[in-house]
Amino acid sequence: MSRRRSGCPIDLTLETFGNRWSLIILRDIMFGGHRTFRALLAHNMEGIASNILADRLARLAANGLLSRCGDPGHKQRVVYSLTEKAIDLVPMMAVMGSWGVRHTLASTELSTRAKVLEAGGPPLWSAFMAELRHFHLGAPQPAESVLAMMQSAYEAALAERRPQADLVAG
């Protein structure tokens, strides 16, 4: 398929990811904190295949979205870190999540993080980016944890659902 290069920033952004698995992997690192091949494979909710995961991790590293470090304790265990270029995708994840909440059949529990990011808007996105810079780039730890805020909203949504599940089971 021939494809002309236009220089359009939207087209070039789409080109960087190639397909959705790349963004899904970045999502799992960003929101789930999974940073090894094994953890990413085990925790991916969409059932990513190991060959696809290996291929996309290599591509993301080649495109400067992930950096790789050997774990000193486990010679064969590579730890992936988000780069600044990847952390700068937080606004895109936030608006994609918002759109998905409104226009797809997203589950209530998995929508809670998106709703927290939407309600907080650009200032909260920046706070989340600062937190990711702490975990991935060694920047100082911010006072506020957006991950903790999203986690407690997620747990509250789970707890709200449980009584209904019990009713059905009973």
Q: Does residue 160 touch a copy of itself according to CB under 8 A? A: no
CB closer to a copy of itself out of 77 and 115: 115
Q: Does residue 152 touch a copy of itself according to CB under 8 A? A: no
Q: What is the identity of the amino acid at 142?
A: P
Residues 88 and 94: beta-carbon distance below 8 Å = no
Residues 75 and 130: beta-carbon distance below 8 Å = no
Give CA–CA dist 132/136, Å, rounded: 6
Q: How far is the CB of 60 from a copy of itself (least distance, A)?
A: 13
Q: Where are the beta strands (DSSP E) in 24-91?
A: 66-71, 74-82
Q: Does residue 106 touch a copy of itself according to CB under 8 A? A: yes
Give CA–CA dist 31/8, Å, rounded: 29
Q: Does residue 116 touch a copy of itself according to CB under 8 A? A: no
Give the per-residue contact string, 9-28, with a copy of itself (x = CB under 8 A; - = no). xxxxxxxx--xx--xx--x-
Interface contacts to a copy of itself, rule CB under 8 A: 1-16, 19-20, 23-24, 27, 45-47, 49, 52, 85, 88-89, 91-107, 109-111, 114, 121-122
